[in-house]
């Protein structure tokens, strides 16, 4: 079997993730429409559940594509992985990339997450629980990402080693703290938006 070029792997990743994103959006939109048209409680519940599932997965997809975009804009060595499984799609070799390339790659993820939150705010009226849940979960994910990644970015900007800072952040409970704070704020956003 012939080895695929980076461009061919990119097209494969874009297709795989594009289909997944479209399916998630359509499933949530179908549940939302069912609720809007019928006002059935079961439809409302399904709309909320699908908003949480779709929002969580879309946040992860957008986040990884944001990292990838940041890496490529900085001309980083960031090859697409041979097999796309889940949301992870590229490698970032610290030895082959410079600090500014790491920072560009790192900033891309949180920027993408907040762009998704803004897109939802600007395009969807917050007039039912499902739509508010979509805003809440994407906000929760954006906050969680920032709590984990912004300290790394800050310390690397001040001269710290990127790999060491990632390792520190992975071992100091920041992921759990970010998740808890993110979901608490996301729940609050949901309640306010609903």
Write down the pLDDT at residue 46.
97
The total of other beta-carbon atoms located within 10 Å of residue 11's CB is 13
Rg (CA), the chain: 18
pLDDT of residue 98: 96
Contact 82, 4 (CB under 8 A): yes
pLDDT at 1: 58
Tens of pLDDT, residues 55-71? 999 999 999 999 999 99
pLDDT of residue 149 exceeding 80, the answer is yes
Query: What's the predicted TM-score (pTM) here?
Result: 0.94
- In this predicted structure, the answer to whether residue 5 has a pLDDT above a threshold of 80 is yes
pLDDT, one tens digit per residue, over 21-54 is 999 999 999 999 999 999 999 999 999 999 999 9
């Amino acid at each position: 079997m012939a080895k695929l070029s980076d461009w061919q792997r990119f097209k494969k990743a874009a297709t795989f993730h594009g289909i997944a994103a479209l399916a998630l959006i359509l499933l949530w939109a179908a549940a939302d429409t069912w609720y809007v048209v019928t006002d059935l409680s079961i439809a409302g519940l399904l709309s909320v559940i699908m908003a949480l599932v779709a929002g969580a997965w879309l946040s992860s997809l957008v986040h990884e594509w944001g990292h990838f975009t940041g890496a490529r804009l900085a001309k980083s060595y960031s090859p697409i992985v041979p097999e796309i499984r889940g949301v992870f799609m590229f490698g970032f070799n610290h030895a082959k990339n410079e600090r500014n390339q790491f920072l560009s790659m790192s900033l891309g993820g949180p920027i993408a997450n907040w762009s998704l939150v803004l897109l939802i705010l600007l395009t969807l009226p917050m007039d039912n629980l499902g739509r508010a849940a979509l805003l809440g979960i994407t906000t929760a994910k954006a906050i969680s990402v920032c709590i984990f990644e912004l300290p790394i970015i800050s310390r690397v900007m001040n001269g710290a080693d990127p790999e060491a800072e990632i390792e520190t952040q992975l071992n100091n409970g920041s992921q759990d703290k970010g998740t808890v704070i993110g979901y608490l704020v996301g729940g609050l956003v949901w309640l306010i938006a609903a």
